[in-house]
Amino acid sequence: MSFHAFDKSEQLRVLTTGETGQLLGYLPSGKLSIQLTSGGIVIVDEENVEKV
């Protein structure tokens, strides 16, 4: 499990899987935490938690 924090200065990012290159979601500018789990990827922001 690993976490990646993006600062507010970061631009819009596209998150894809390394193996297939499948689009998983867009990371809007702002502070986010990405949690990689065996069940998938969890995107955490200040207001909600979304499992992709």
The domain locations on the chain are 3-51
46: pLDDT confidence band, cut at 50, 70 and 90?
A: low
- Is residue 47 very low, low, confident or very high in pLDDT (cuts 50, 70, 90)? low
Q: Cα torsion at 23, 32, 35, 47 (round to 10°)?
A: -100
Residue 9 identity (one-letter amino acid): S
Confidence band for 36, pLDDT divided at 50, 70 and 90: low
Q: What are the structure tokens assigned to 31, written together?
A: 């502070």
Alpha-carbon Rg for the chain, nearest whole angstrom, is: 11
Q: What is the pTM of this model?
A: 0.24
